[in-house]
Every structure is written in structure tokens, then in C-alpha cells.
Amino acid sequence: MKYSYLGKTGMKVPVLSFGASSLGGVFRSVSEAEAIRAVFTAIEHGMTFIDVSPYYGHTKAETVLGEALTELQRESFLLSTKVGRYGANGVNLWDYSAQRTRESVFESMERLHVDYIDLINVHDIEFADLSQIINETLPTLVELREKGLVGHVGITDLQLENLKWVIDRVPEGTVESVLNFCHYSLNDDRLADFLDYFEAKGIGVINASPFSMGLLSQRGVPEWHPAPAALVEACRKASDYCLSQGYPIEKLAIQFSVSNPRIGTTLFSSANPDNVLKNIQYIEEPIDWDLVAKVKEIIGDQQRVTWKNT
């Protein structure tokens, strides 16, 4: 496993990190025992940065992950979770207030069985009043950082412009990392356009969803996926072509997403230990850049087509 430092945080992160959303049954029902084994497999093979959120499975992901973490030495992993986006009884909830932010951090620490969190992110800021993020949410997290309860502060969003808008309006050093998803993958590499900006600000970059939430998979896109039909069809054709070449599109997709050394880490999520191991093995093999070019050609004018977060 290759490692790099995430911006100026001093956190040494692997090129491929463990996204714990699957532990909450976000994509399918999961066995808790199997999910815990997936966490152990990830750590044992160098995926020492773990990202989760109280939103995933409406606290289930944090709860299951917390059970796994009780079996691990605290210094063996770096832990990231989030504030602002929640849910209960199948209903999504958002609350970026100072009080809820502070409460959420302590609730997450309790579920995760830890006494500090290495990185705390404001989750999906596009659902918030961005002025509240600047004036209330982030100052609350900075206060917790100063008290030593959290190590570093970041923000996440699908829309890259929102990340830049907030960073431009807060004191330097407030935001130490960004997490962006579905924008450094075979069908959409728009994150690359913002790397100069993030680097100039000393901000670490976390990429997520190398499979574009299922677009780049042999299994096919889930029914709930918000991508437009033309993009879904283009990715299906690309997947079929990769299969005809004996090269699963999942393999090419994850190899591509970890290929840019300017991106600190890419998050991959699975509650299946065998799948975790398989994807670690994928990134250890050389990428077929000729196949990347062919896949991009097949996706064609659907490159960089995006969608609204839901």
C-alpha cells in the first residue's frame, strides 16, 4: 500500500481508504459479523484511514464500525466522521447548528468507542445555508479542535464550487481537507480542475466513490441512482466492453481513481472482506491506459455529466 500526507494535516493516509457507508446497509443488507471482518481485512492490508458518518444507515454504520474498533489498537487507524446530515426512521434530517454539531461529535465518539476523532467533516454542505456553515458549524468544530477532541476539520460535497466558496470565506487553516465524490472516476474527472486551488490553500483532497455509486460496475446501476439515462447507458456499454476484454470495469475504475498522486486518498466501501481484499489487489496491478482511453471514448459526450445530490 502506498501512502501520502493529507494536505498539511500531518495525517499519513493510504492511497486507498476504507469507506464505512456499506456497514450501514446503504447498498444492501449486511451481516454485522461479516462487516466487522471487512474492517479487520482493510486495516490488516494497509487501509488505515476509515471514513464514516452518523447518516450512513442512520447511525448503524458508526455502531457496527465501533464494535470493530474495540478490537483494534487506537494508534493502528485514523478515523473520520461527519456532522450535519442525519436520519431517523427512514427519514433524512439536516441540522448544521452549533448545538447539534457539538452534540453529534460526542454521540459519534460514543458509538465509535473512541475519545477523539482524527478528522471531522461537515457533511454535504449543499443541503445547508452556506453562511451557517461559515459562521456556525465550522467555528464550532474549530473550537473542538482547539480543545483536542478532534484533530482536523474538513468539508464534503458533491458540488466542487460549494467547497471553494466556503474555503474562500473562512480564515486560513479552518478547512484542512475536502471530500468530494463521483468527480474523479472513469466517467468524470472534474476534480482535477480544482487540484491547483486546493494545493495552493494547503488543503488535502479525499476522493470518494470510484465506481460512481454503481455506474461503473458489472452489476449495473441501482434503481435509485440519480444519473441521467444517457449516462447510465454509456457506462453500461463501457462495462460490457471491459468484460469482453477480460478486464472488469470495477478493476479499471478503482485503478484509475487512485492513479493521481495529487489526490491524498480514495475511499472505497464494502462490507464484504473478500471484496475488500480483491480491490486492494486490483490497485497493486498496473493499469491499462489504452483501455482507459477506450472506455472514455465509449462514454463519449457523457463525460463529466453529473447530477443533483439526493
> Active-site residue numbers?
56
Whether 25 and 65 have beta carbons less than 8 Å apart is answered as no
Task: Indicate the helix (H) or strand (E) that contains 231.
Answer: helix 229-244
Whether 133 and 86 have beta carbons less than 8 Å apart is answered as no
DSSP string, 64-117: HHHHHHTTS-GGG-EEEEEESEEEETTEEEE---HHHHHHHHHHHHHHHT-S-E
Whether 4 and 15 have beta carbons less than 8 Å apart is answered as yes
Residue 291 has a CB neighbour count (10 Å cut-off) of: 20
Across 207-226, b (16+ Cβ under 10 Å) vs e yields bbbbbbbbbbbeeebeeebe
Per 3-state DSSP, what percentage of the chain is helix, strand, and coil (rounded to 5)? 45, 20, 35
Residue 162 grid coordinates:
460549494
